[in-house]
Amino acid sequence: LRKLFTFAPTANADKVRNAIFEAGGGHIGNYSECSFNAEGTGTFRGGDGTTPFAGEAGRRHQENEIKIEVIFPAYLENRIVKAIIASHPYEEVAYDVISLSNTHAGTGSGLTGELIEPIDEGSFLTHLKKVFNVTVVRHTELTGKPVKKVAVCGGAGSFLISRALATEADFYITADIKYHEFFDANGRMVIADIGHYESEQFTINLLQEVLEQKFPTFAVLKTGVNTNPVKYFI
């Protein structure tokens, strides 16, 4: 995440703020158009060849301004900076962008969800095999508890075992678990390793949906080639 600070004349603050929102800034969880605004006084003196928005070149000018603070995901930085410059009345736009240690509420490597109705562990494993079209699932010892909450991370997800445990998930579906990492479940949840390719196989469908939504006039073709290098002898 990044945080943006910029300063706009009071009369132009709404225009600049709206441009930032339209560029994707100001999202916190399920809330949009989030910002903090404070009144203040800015000073500037235009040099030779300048055409100040207010005041005269060569003389220091004071302007009532609004300080606008907004957070945004890092990948939007260029778009948001361009939006500020395009909407701002000043020849030289003052802004600061800083990196935050906050985690983004809407992104991550894994997710959790709950089944509509709890089911037993054996039935859940059978369902996993069917949905992911796998012939075998490596897993830790079953706990004997009903399965209600499930954590998922496609690909190599051993680094999230502790996070899955912290959410009190009954099952953690992932891949590439090493021998000693299976012990980390410690009887508190079932770790199910369904295979790296198998856990990511539906990503191509998601990418196709995103591309079709973003570029509705383009034909998006999905490959049918299986690139999994791992084979199983049953």
Distance of CA 169 to CAs 141, 185, 188, Å?
A: 15, 11, 9
pLDDT digits (tens, 9 = 90+) for 120-174: 999 999 999 999 999 999 999 999 999 999 999 999 999 999 999 999 999 999 9
- Three-point CA angle 25, 28, 30, nearest 5°: 115
What pTM did the predictor assign? 0.67
CA separation for the pair 8, 14 (Å, rounded) = 9
- Which structural domain, as residue segments, surrounds residue 72? 2-99
Average pLDDT for 210-219 = 91
Nearest to 96 by CA among 3, 29, 168, 27: 3
pLDDT for res 200: 94
77 shares a domain with 20: yes
Structural domain count, the chain: 2
pLDDT digits (tens, 9 = 90+) for 174-195: 999 999 999 999 999 999 999 9
118 shares a domain with 93: no
95 shares a domain with 57: yes
Write the CATH number for 166. Answer: 3.40.1390.30
pLDDT digits (tens, 9 = 90+) for 69-111: 999 998 999 999 999 999 999 999 999 999 988 776 667 788 9
138 shares a domain with 94: no
CB 164 within 8 A of CB 108: no
CA separation for the pair 74, 81 (Å, rounded) = 12
